[in-house]
Structure 1
Amino acid sequence: MFGQISRNCFIQRHVLSRSFHASSTFYKSTVIPSHPHLHAHTTSSNNNNQKYAISYVSDSELGDHKIEDHPNLIIGWSSNKNILDCQTFIENGEFIPFLTETLKENIHRVDDSNLKAMADWQKEGWMHIGDERDPPAWGRINYPEDIIGSVQVVNGVIQKGTYQPMPTHRLMTTKGIFQLSEPLTQCLIKAAKINFKRNKKGLLGSRSIHKKLTMCGNQHYNEDDPVQIGENIWLASEESVGQLPDLNEEYLLIRSVPVIGNQSIGSSAAIG
């Protein structure tokens, strides 16, 4: 009897082990040759047009999760993991709000020399953020499908919180998939990774130290704003402010109110 139970347990563990290994292999991602920042994830879809999900997050960062568990991080789907064009690619509408919120929270503070030069040259008014897949000549305006959004410029400086998305922008055109400048691309990659970590862990194990409007260094923190420095998550508050590491280091200010339990929390992230 005990031998039979032991044998059954062994078989069950063996089957589970094989299933996990097969799942991990099945959902492995590959880097897209023409776009080294993008990863193609094999999906479980029976639709050949959605065979691969395209994302900034790789399978090694997902661990035992599937990219399909995080639809807002999927830029779109492709029938080909090596070629992205109008014939192979389908846009994902759920990615647009993530792109918009990330740029809105960060575009005024990202160290992008080209954006700063354009703002300094324009001085005042609204400035377009152009898609770099088909850049126009200096001083010319992009085609509507190649204008990602616009920001307000005052005295040659991009103003915080003024980013507005352009409804006519397309993630894919005959010129290829959308392309941001390298600084903005890195900003989006970091935001995607912190978004995944937050979704994966819920509250990310935040050290729940409570509310108080406070200030650390030159950065203002509102009550319940989680701050990530490295792998540690802190809540800005009167009690925790003395424990925060040196804020001259790179940090992530997560603009969302933590929610306990199975409920979701906001998706935007500010990159320092």
Structure 2
Amino acid sequence: MLYRAAVRTVRLPAVCKPTLSVRALSTLPSNPHIYVFEHPLDATRSLLTLLPTEPPNVQLALGASTSVPPTPDSFTENRQFHPILQSVLATHAINDPSVKQQAAAFASPGGFNLGQPNKRSGDGAGAANQQAGMGGANKGGWIHVSDERNPPDWGRIAWPEDIFGSVEVDGNGSLIGNWQDSGTYRIVTREGILGLTPYLREKLVRRLKELETGGK
């Protein structure tokens, strides 16, 4: 008599592949280019920075805030950030397409109409191009480079708290390159937080990354 051997099938557990957990980075609703981290030295505050690096570098951050979104009362500026911002503007503002456009308008025959004080238009903020400072009308002078969070009306000057600085332009609308820090700019106002043109933001982020990796 033939006997058939019993065969037992054993199901081996499926090999579990490790999954990588990636935490989504938080950014400000009003400015997706600014990252929000828990402050590594103070759990009661959030650190605001243009760099996505975790843990964040406190020395390269814009500053810290006890509330998100930040307000002038809740925000404390990182004093080391302003010199970095100004060095980038001093080097690259003259090559910003929007600043070049502003310089051309400044030197145009109608340039003398530019330079009226800005009108306060409430708390609303929005994207903007920088507006001319003092009208040139082929005589040259200085134009203001200002934050995009609170654009002045055409031909009017931005509020001091929104002006990064000024750059010199000749009577032909060419940017000479001399840069003057306004000394009045504030990173956070009731209109919002730092808002740069894409060109200048890219230059600033690149510089911050260089400093982060120890570059000079």
**Same structural fold, with TM-score higher than 0.5 when normalized by the shorter chain:** yes
Match of 2:81 among 90, 95, 115: 95
Higher relative contact order (CA 8 A, sep 6+): 2
- The runs of 5 or more residues in structure 2 that have no matched partner are 1-22, 108-139
**Inter-partner Cα distance in structure 1 for 2:43 and 2:32:** 25
Maintained 8 Å contact 1:38/1:56: yes
Residue equivalent to 2:51: 57
The amino acid that maps onto 2:75 is F
Question: Of 150, 156, 175, which aligns to 2:166?
Answer: 150
Q: How does 1:2-151 map to 2 (within 5 A)?
A: 29-46=25-42, 48=44, 51-59=45-53, 66-68=56-58, 71=59, 73-80=60-67, 82-110=68-96, 112=97, 114-123=98-107, 124-151=140-167
* Secondary structure at the counterpart of residue 143 of structure 2: strand
Per-residue CA deviations over 1:98-122 (Å, capped at 9, x if unaligned) read 0011111111223x2x211110111
Could you tell me the percent identity over the aligned residues? Answer: 30
Distance 2:206 2:196 in 1: 14
Say which is worse superposed, 38-47 or 133-142, in terms of deviation: 38-47
SS at match of 1:44: coil
Could you tell me which residue of structure 2 aligns to residue 181 of structure 1?
Answer: 197
Tell me which residue corresponds to 2:176.
159
Moved over 4 A (4+): none
Give the deviation of 1:152 after TM superposition.
0.4
Aligned residues: 162
Separation in structure 2 between the aligned mates of residue 172 and residue 107 of structure 1, nearest angstrom: 21
Tell me the TM-score normalized by structure 2. 0.68
**Over alpha carbons, which structure has the higher Rg?**
2
C-alpha contact (below 8 Å) 1:107/1:184 kept by paired residues: yes
Cα RMSD after superposing both structures: 2.2
Partner Cα separation in structure 2 for residue 88 and residue 178 of structure 1: 15
Question: Structure 1-normalised TM-score?
Answer: 0.55
> Aligned to 2:95, what secondary structure does the other structure show?
coil
Decide whether aligned partners of structure 1 residues 66 and 118 sit closer, same or farther in structure 2, where only a CA change above 3 A counts: closer
How big is each residue's C-alpha offset from its partner over 1:184-207, in whole Å with a ceiling of 9 and x where there is no partner? 12221222222212x2xx6xxxxx
How far is 1:29 from its partner?
A: 4.9
Aligned to 1:233: none
State the Cα deviation string for residues 209-247 of structure 1 (Å, max 9, x = none).
xxxxxxxxxxxxxxxxxxxxxxxxxxxxxxxxxxxxxxx
